[in-house]
Amino acid sequence: MKNKTKTVYEAVENIKDGAVIMVGGFMATGTPEIIIDALVKKNIKNLTVICNDAGVPGRGVGKLLSNGQINTLIASHVGLNPEVAQRMNTDVEEDKLNCILIPQGTLAERIRAGGSGLGGFLTPTGVGTIVSEDKQVITIKGRDYLLEEPLRADFALIRGSVTDRFGNTIYNCSTRNFNPLMAMAADAVIVGTEKIVEIGELDPNFVMTSGIFIDVVVGGEKPWQI
């Protein structure tokens, strides 16, 4: 199988202004920091970022936000990064952040649908709330559901713990979260990983994300230092 390892700068070469990018991680646990750092250095703008949350200042998606690179953020929870509220409410028009909030389970399932060839799904979550505005309500066996559409991106940036050169990936503990879903839901997928191993070294029984979803493998992720 093909060796997909590249340098981080080669990996982000095709990501341009205005790109739609999924970023794995939950409060930055499971976010590929080295790829985020490369995007900060590249300083591309007007990004639409799809991530569970806004990370924290100085970590994960929070770095892109602080650097003014995100135009639209699609997330489930942004309350732990105070910069989000500041940017949503700023009077400076070009700094204004468009923040779209989606229930976490719906966000996960929309990404799963996007990567799995589904036209959408029906969920009871959000019925009768703000979330249901402009959405079709469908009643099945007497219960109301919202029709939720699939979500896809131009790029997905995911974080692995151990990845072989083909891209087969294993996630440690709670770093898994949105990563396996996003790996299937973008046109180009970059994995930043802590440990690169040779093809054939991973036990096929324990591969969590198939390398067929992965376009580029980048090594050098480090455990977060508390």
Binding residues (CB under 8 A) for another protein: these are: 26-27, 29-30, 52-53, 56, 75-80, 85, 88, 99, 101, 103-109, 111-112, 123-131, 161, 171-181, 208, 223-226
- Residue 146 and residue 172 in contact, taking contact as beta carbons nearer than 8 Å: no
Nearer Cβ to another protein (109/164): 109
- The three-point CA angle 111-112-117 to 5° equals 105
Q: How far is the CB of 4 from another protein (least distance, A)?
A: 22
Q: Which is nearer to another protein, 10 or 144 (CB)?
A: 144
Position 101: which residue type?
Answer: L
Q: For the CB of residue 29, give the shortest distance to another protein in the complex, in Å.
A: 5
Which positions ≥6 away from 49 have C-beta within 8 Å?
Answer: 21, 22, 23, 61, 64, 70, 72, 73, 74
Residues 6+ apart with CB under 8 A from 194: 160, 161, 162, 172, 219, 221, 222, 223
- Sort 121 into a burial class: Cβ within 10 Å, 0-12 / 13-18 / 19+: middle
Least Å distance between CB 180 and another protein?
Answer: 5
- The least CB distance from residue 96 to another protein, in Å, is 14
Q: How many CB atoms lie within 10 A of CB 57?
A: 14
**Contact in structure between 172 and 161 (CB atoms under 8 Å):** yes
Which is nearer to another protein, 140 or 226 (by Cβ)? 226
Give the shortest CB-69-to-another protein separation in angstroms. Answer: 20
| Residue among 72 and 125 whose Cβ is closer to another protein | 125
Nearer to another protein, 82 or 200 (CB): 82
